[in-house]
Amino acid sequence: MNVLDDNPRGTFLMVVGGAIDWSGHANETARIIEGTTEFVKAVNDVAAWAEKYSSWDETLLIVTADHETGFVNSPSKMDFRPLSKDTSGAIEMEWLSKQHTNQLVPFFVRGAGSRTVFNLANQQDLMRGRYLDNTEFAQLVIQRWWVKR
């Protein structure tokens, strides 16, 4: 990141946690936890870099996914509940698919331009609140931030 920020026109960095998707297709619980843990470490490293070498006034951090895979649920196909821990502290979960699903995925933004992204979330899910379609975000990036006019 220290090399990328030498560009006076700014820079774009995408970090992909691809093992999370592969683990979802294979329904591998331990691997998806491991992949997610490593991805969170990468996000924390970017945030630490922004705070040390840049600022949130000139850095935008976005954390999301392009889709959900595996349709993870609590261990009951008939009772959709959040994940929980058993008496030993292990996460109780059940895989309901090996495919991509239409489940909403989290979308986190922080820093410069985050209000613009937040304002795109103009649709409402009864359980999770406001959300945006991933194609809306792609159009923002392509039409407003990426394309030189």
CA-closest candidate to residue 128, choices 107, 114, 110: 107
The whole-number pLDDT of residue 147 equals 64
Q: What tens digit of pLDDT does each residue of 131-144 get?
A: 888 788 888 888 88
Task: Report the chain's mean pLDDT, rounded to a whole number.
Answer: 86
For 13-41, the pLDDT digits (tens) are 888 888 999 999 999 989 998 999 999 99
Which of 42, 53, 34, 45 lies closest to 15 in space, CA to CA?
42
The pLDDT tens digits of the residues spanning 71-81 come to 888 776 666 66
For residues 42 and 1, is the Cβ–Cβ distance under 8 A? no
Enumerate the β-bridge partners of residue 84. 92
pTM of the shown model = 0.81
Q: How far is CA 90 from CA 20, 40, 66, 95, in A?
A: 19, 19, 27, 15
The answer to whether residue 93 scores a pLDDT higher than 80 is yes
